[in-house]
Structure formats: C-alpha cells, structure tokens
Structure 1
Amino acid sequence: MRNLKNSKHSDRRNAAAEAKADLLAAYKAAKEASEPARAAKQAERLAIAEAREARRAERAQAKLDEKNRIEAEAAARKAEIEAAARAEIEERELASKKRVSRVLEDEAARKAERDRRYANRKARRA
C-alpha cells in the first residue's frame, strides 16, 4: 500500500511537472508568435520618440529664432533712437550756430550803421 500511495504522489508530481512544461511551451510559443507584433510596436515607439525629439528640436529652434528676432528688433530700435538723438543734437547745434551767426551779423550790421552815422556826422561837421 505504501508503494501505491507514493505512486499517486509521484503521479501528481509528474502531472504538475508536465503542466509546468506545457505552460512554459505555451509561453514560448506565444512569445514567438507575438515577436513580429512586438517588433512592430518597438518600431512604432522608436518612430514616436524620434518625432517627439524632432518636435522638441523644432521648438528649440523656433525659440532661438524668436529670441534672435527680438534682439535684432531691439538693436534696430536702439539704433533708431541713437540716430534720432544724434539728429536732434545736430539740429540743436545747427540752430545754435545759426543764432550765433545771426547775432554776429546783427552786431556787425549795428556797428556798420553806427560807423555810417559817425562818418555822416563827421562829414557834416567837416
């Protein structure tokens, strides 16, 4: 009887081992069957990652372009402001020079008129 009991136990153990082997074989078969799908999914993931990286690089380039454009506009505005300031300074200097030359001309005209009157007075006395 003892042998019979061991036999049942060994039968159960063998059945369990066979079931494990069958499960392992089924797993391997499923793995091999799903290999093309897994490869396709892996390729799809790789394509998505590359597209994401391309979009990131494009956004970075767009940011850089925008930054450069803003800096160029700022430089252009600064140059315009400086040119306007220079033009205003030159205009003020020109106006000042004109005013000085007008004052000098007026002074010269006054002196010439005074000298003419003086000469006329001298001529009348003589």
Structure 2
Amino acid sequence: MNEMKQKNFSERLSAARDAKQAMAAKFRQRPGPDDPGVAEQRAARAAVSAARDVRHAEREAQRRTENVQRAADEARLTVEREALAAEQAAQENRAAAEKAVNEARLEAERKAARDARYAARKARK
C-alpha cells in the first residue's frame, strides 16, 4: 500500500492515459453495423421477434375464440333456462286453471246439494 502513495504525479498521469487508450482500443475493436456478424445477430433477433409476435397473435386468436365459444354457451344456456321457465309457467297456469275449474265444479255441486236440502225442507213443511 505504500507503493501507491509513493508514485509520483507523472506516473499517475501515464497510468490514466494508458487506461483511456485501452478503453478506446476496446471500443474500436467492436464490429460496425455493416459487419456480417452484427447483421446475423440482427437477423436472429428479428426472427425471434417475429416468432414472438406470431405466438402472441395465436394466443390472442385462441382467447377470442374461447370468448366467443363461452358467450355462445352462455346464450344457449340462457335460452334453455328461459324455455324451461316458460314450460314451468305454462304447467303452473294449467294446474291453476284445472284447480279453478275443480273448485267451480265443487262449488256448483255444493250449491246444488244445498238447494236440494232447502227444497226438501220446504217440501216437508
């Protein structure tokens, strides 16, 4: 650690200059945009991106198809429920009409029996 403190100013300047030159050399070694390796990487990235877009479009189409199918199933079930409810309502109406007819018939029979008793009582007097 003493060696670091013992370095003079000129040695530190030359070390900084050497570091800057090394960074510049490293930057210059990078391939340019027209390099075949860079073009190949760019094409590979474009292919991956296109494949990703295709998969996304397929998933979106699948989701929409499932949504349409689900909506159709729900509509079919709703229609079936409404038909069942209408059928039950019709059965209840028929049962209520039959009950009303039976009650009217029973009431008529009761009235006829009551009138017959009344007539028999009048005949006895």
1:93 is aligned to: 91
1:61 is aligned to: 59
- CA–CA distance in 2 between the matches of 1:72 and 1:116? 64
* Pairing partner for 1:74 from 43, 60, 72: 72
- CA–CA distance in 2 between the matches of 1:83 and 1:48? 52
1:44 is aligned to: 42
SS of the equivalent of 1:99 reads: helix
Q: CA RMSD in A?
A: 1.5
* Pairing partner for 1:112 from 110, 114, 117: 110
- CA–CA distance in 2 between the matches of 1:42 and 1:123? 120
1:77-126 CA-to-partner distances (Å, cap 9, x unmatched) read 00000000000000000000000000000000000010110010011111
- CA–CA distance in 1 between the matches of 2:46 and 2:57? 16
Percent of paired sites with the same residue: 9
1:125 is aligned to: 123
- CA–CA distance in 1 between the matches of 2:72 and 2:97? 37
Shift of 1:37: 1.1
TM-score (norm 1): 0.71
1:35-68 CA-to-partner distances (Å, cap 9, x unmatched) read x811110000000000000000000001100100
- CA–CA distance in 2 between the matches of 1:119 and 1:47? 106
**Higher relative CO (CA 8 A, sep ≥ 6), structure 1 or 2?**
2
SS of the equivalent of 1:40 reads: helix
- CA–CA distance in 1 between the matches of 2:119 and 2:77? 62
Larger Rg: 1
> Structure 2 unaligned runs (5+)?
1-30
> Structure 1 unaligned runs (5+)?
1-32
- CA–CA distance in 1 between the matches of 2:36 and 2:69? 49
